[in-house]
Each structure stands twice: as C-alpha cells, then as structure tokens.
C-alpha cells in the first residue's frame, strides 16, 4: 500500500543491492515502509563454477527502482532526507581509468579459485586471518590471485578493483571510497587496524592505490551528476551514506545490537550473525567483519538457503501454469503434511558447495535414509530441515566464540512463512522475534544515513524505531526430537565429506 503524504513529512531511503535483485525502500522516520520497488537481474555461468553479472544492468535496476519508489510514493524530492547503501559482499569488478567495467562483476558464489584457496590452506594463515575472512573462493583476494595466475586480461589492464557498491559511488559521485564492511569482505583488509593488509595485497599482485579509500559507514557522498539525478528523480545534493554490507545491516535493521542478540537470515542463501564491540581474536569456521570503529559482526554464511528449496520444488514438481509464488506456497503446504524429521529422511543441503561451517567449495548434497515409503512431502520437508540444521550448526560455533545466544531475530524471505518460522524456533529451541518489515538491510542502511546527516546520534537508538510483529514460541517436545536429528546430521556430514569431494572432482573431469 503506497502512502500519500503531507508537505511537512520527511522520509529516508535504503538501497539494497542483493544477489538477484535491487531493492529500494522508502521509510518513514519511525521505520515503517512507505513505498518499495524491486528489479531483478540475471546471473550467468559461462563455465562451471563461474558466477557473473553485468554491473551496468545492476545499475539500471537500481535507477529504475529509485525512480519507481519516488513516483509511487508521490513525495517531493525535498521530503527525502537522505539515502543509505547496502550491498551483497565479495563482489569484484575490474575497471579502467574512466571507471568503465573491463570485466563482468564476479559474485560471491563464483568458485573458479578453488585451486588457489586449497594452496593457501596448506600455508601459514596467521597473517591472512587478521582479515577476518575465511579462506574461500568467495573472497576477492582469491579471485584476484586466480586472475593473476591466469593472466586475466581485465586484471592486467585494470586501473582499479572495486565492489558493486564502489562502482556506483564512483560513477555517481566521482570518488573511490569503500565502507569498512565491504572492505572486510575482500580478504584484503585488516579488521583490527581498519586498513588494507599489505601481505594480502602482495599475494593478489595489486597495490593500495588500485583500491578505494576505506571509510566509516556514515561517510557522506553528495553532488550527484546531473544525468543520474534526473534519472533517479531526486535532488543532486541529496546526501548518500556509504552504509555497509547487507549482513551487518540486516542485524542493525532488526535491532539485534545488544549482547546475546543473534540474527538468522534465509534468503537465496543464509547466514547467522552477531554484533560485537570488539573483533574476534581467533577465527574457527566463522567470519569477523568490521562495521564501524566500534562495531564488528561475527558469524557464518551458508551458500544453501532458499535456493535449495527452489531447486527441490522445480525438480520434484513438473512445470505447470502456476506462478512461482503459488508453486512455492503449495510446496510449503505439502511439506507441512510430513511430520518433524520427515519420516526419518535426512538431507545434506550442500547443492552449491558450502561456506560455514565446512568451508568447502567441493561439498555436495545428499539424501540419507530413503525408502520406498517416502513421499514428495517428506523430500520437501527434509530439504527445509537440512537448511535449518546447517544454520543451527553455525549458530553453535558462533555461541562458543561470543557467548550465549539469548534472543533470535529473523529476516529474509523465509520470514513470510509461518511454517518455516515455527520449524526454526523448534530446531533452535528459542523463541523468534519477527519485525513487521522484511527489508531490514535497507532500514539499517537508511539509519546510517540519518546518523550521517546528524538526524540520529547513535546506532543503538534504531531499536526504538523498528516496528515488531509476532513472537514465534518454540515447542519443547519437537526441539528434543530435533536435537537427536542434528547429531545424526553432523555425523552424516562428516561421513559424506570425502566422497562428495571425489564426486565433485569426477564431475569436473567428465565431459
């Protein structure tokens, strides 16, 4: 429902550059959604393990969505106080001295640098661990190393190496800056000193002048080019805060800032995150990224979230005339008819390799315990349970490092499903706090923009401006059942690991 505003109303906007689409959300000062728009863009895989996107198509999606929100909301440009940026992590683009893209944008899901990662897994990692980014092909450090070793032409000709957010900021404002959060996700940044790590730069074969200047999330960019101001439908002097990456902003956007607050996200992929007042001293299977000079986020990402369920729906159900949304809803309804534990059917959800907790790009999925009595409902439910079991594993690792997980906040597309929420509560044995809006990363970005212009004076106050919905209460009996199944899940995961790696290698060799 779009708003009709009075002349003295003021608003704030968040731009969230996601893996599959750009989302633009206009908020009231109290955090309610006034208007929103979303535009998708494609991902291509020209070779196995490649994951690429066209940065100019992403820019078109953002411009269209901002313009659409301004039109639908009917607000005047004078009523827009500020805009904040959120972006998916680990993206990489090679650009020339005119900031034209020489390469596609390589996404976090790209796995072409597996060989380079495996080499460094055998080396002394103490210096690289200061970066807070686990050694994995998602990291731009290893993407750059792959480019270096393969004499990748865009790499050889590049003036700068940037993320998708930096790409737009440089094109719109003619400056190269990167927030601490996005910089942390490169594997090139020391999260303790908040500066580039020379050891990592040397490995990548680049210099610091080929990277942007690291800045606080409240750093302000103003002075849009006339061309982009007209396309966006806003004033040229509208202040933009550089914001942060989508993970920590999702925590901030639901108010999960206090000690013991855990955020669980399931969208295309998934993540477990906790905000801390200090960086982790050691890393064991989790990341530690900077947000600001006094905030860090610790947690673990999974490659396998809603994309796994989408695969299951498409694989188990023949195509029909139903919309994607209808098929998704029907699949969830069918999964509910299977009991907890899916009639003793266990699913390892590693269809896209895995980051946390395995950090193995060659991980593969598996069903265990299949019998002739299992139904489509069992297979669908086991997929959902496998996704959640994996996230539970990550949360246990985070808890060992950060202390007790006291409260769980949720966000992402899965939060629209009551069934999925209840399943998460029962697996984790914790009640879930549900915000009214699912656009938490955009609200976190918008809040930083309000801080940047002096409208808000601290990060913690956002908790007073988040409209909350229901609390989902867990069922103790089901939680006890799931604890036993999680033990089997971990055991199955370990037993399948080497076989999955061999099958992955075989798949690559097979013509």
Q: pLDDT for 428-467, tens place per residue? A: 999 998 988 778 999 999 999 999 999 999 999 998 899 8
Q: What's the helix, strand, coil split of the chain in %, to 5? A: 40, 20, 35
Identify the band that residue 415 occupies on the pLDDT scale cut at 50, 70 and 90: confident
Q: Where are the domains of the chain?
A: 11-246
* Nearest-angstrom CA–CA distance, 278 and 288: 10
Predicted TM-score (pTM) of this structure: 0.87
- Of 402, 424, 305, 432, the C-alpha closest to 356 is 305
Beta strand pairing status for 220-221 and 240-245?
A: antiparallel
Q: What is the pLDDT of residues 65-90, one digit of tens each?
A: 999 999 999 999 999 999 999 999 99
Q: What is the pLDDT of residues 204-250, one digit of tens each?
A: 999 999 999 999 999 999 999 999 999 999 999 999 999 999 999 99
Place of tokens 């790209």: 110
**Dihedral sign for Cα atoms in the order 47, 49, 55, 57:** positive
Determine the pLDDT at residue 2: 43
Identify the DSSP state of 412. S
Give the percent of the chain with pLDDT over 90: 78
Q: Does domain 11-246 have CATH number 3.40.50.620?
A: no
Give the angle subtended at the CA of 23 by the CAs of 20 and 26, to the nearest 5°: 175
Identify the band that residue 140 occupies on the pLDDT scale cut at 50, 70 and 90: very high
pLDDT at residue 360 above 90?
no
* Nearest-angstrom CA–CA distance, 119 and 122: 6
CA 119 to chain centre: 26
Beta strand pairing status for 220-221 and 213-215?
A: unpaired
Mean pLDDT (the chain, rounded): 92
> Measuring CA to CA, how many Å separate 338 from each of 298, 380, 475?
35, 9, 17
pLDDT at residue 321 above 70?
no
* Contact call for residues 308 and 315 (beta carbons, < 8 A): no
Q: Looking at the DSSP assignment, which residues form a beta bridge with residue 290?
A: 296
Provide the token pair at 51.
Answer: 């994951």
């Amino acid at each position: 429902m779009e708003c009709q505003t009075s002349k003295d109303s003021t608003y704030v906007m968040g731009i969230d550059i996601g893996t599959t689409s750009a989302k633009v959300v206009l908020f009231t000062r109290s955090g309610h959604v006034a208007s929103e728009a979303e535009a998708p863009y494609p991902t291509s895989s020209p070779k196995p393990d490649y994951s690429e996107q066209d940065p100019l198509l992403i820019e078109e999606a953002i411009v269209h969505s901002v313009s659409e929100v301004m039109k639908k909301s009917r607000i005047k440009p004078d009523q827009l106080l500020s805009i904040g940026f959120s972006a998916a992590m680990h993206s990489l683009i090679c650009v020339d001295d005119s900031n034209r893209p020489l390469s596609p944008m390589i996404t976090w899901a790209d796995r072409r640098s597996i060989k380079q990662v495996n080499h460094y897994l055998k080396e002394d990692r103490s210096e690289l661990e200061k970066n807070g980014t686990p050694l994995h092909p998602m990291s731009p450090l290893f993407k750059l190393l792959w480019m270096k070793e393969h004499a990748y032409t865009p790499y050889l000709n590049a003036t700068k190496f940037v993320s998708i957010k930096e790409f737009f900021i440089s094109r719109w404002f003619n400056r190269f800056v990167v927030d601490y959060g996005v910089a942390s996700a490169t594997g090139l940044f020391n999260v303790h000193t908040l500066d580039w790590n020379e050891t990592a730069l040397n490995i990548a074969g680049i210099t610091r002048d080929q990277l942007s200047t690291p800045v606080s999330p409240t750093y302000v960019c103003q002075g849009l080019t006339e061309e982009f101001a007209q396309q966006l439908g806003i004033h040229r002097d509208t202040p933009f805060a550089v914001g942060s990456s989508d993970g920590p902003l999702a925590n901030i956007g639901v108010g999960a800032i206090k000690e013991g607050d855990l955020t669980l996200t399931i969208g295309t992929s998934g993540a477990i995150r906790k905000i801390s007042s200090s960086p982790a001293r050691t890393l064991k299977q989790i990341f530690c990224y900077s947000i600001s000079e006094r905030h860090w986020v610790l947690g673990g990402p999974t490659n396998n979230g809603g994309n796994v369920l989408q695969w299951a729906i498409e694989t188990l159900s023949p195509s029909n005339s139903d919309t994607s949304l209808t098929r998704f809803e029907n699949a969830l309804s069918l999964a509910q008819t299977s009991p907890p534990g899916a009639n003793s059917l266990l699913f390892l959800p590693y269809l896209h390799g895995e980051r946390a907790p395995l950090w193995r790009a060659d991980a593969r999925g598996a069903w265990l315990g299949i019998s002739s009595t299992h139904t489509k409902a069992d297979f669908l439910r086991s997929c959902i349970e496998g996704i959640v079991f994996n996230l539970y594993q990550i949360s246990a690792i985070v808890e060992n490092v950060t202390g007790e997980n006291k409260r769980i906040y949720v966000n992402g597309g899965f939060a629209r499903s009551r069934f999925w929420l209840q399943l998460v509560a029962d697996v984790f044995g914790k009640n879930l706090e549900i915000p009214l809006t699912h656009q938490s990363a955009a609200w976190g970005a918008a809040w930083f923009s309000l801080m940047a212009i002096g409208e808000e004076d601290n990060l913690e106050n956002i908790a007073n401006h988040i409209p909350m919905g229901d609390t989902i209460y867990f069922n103790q009996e089901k939680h006890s059942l799931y604890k036993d199944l999680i033990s089997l899940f971990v055991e199955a995961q370990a037993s399948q690991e080497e076989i999955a790696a061999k099958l992955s290698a075989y798949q690559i060799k097979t013509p």
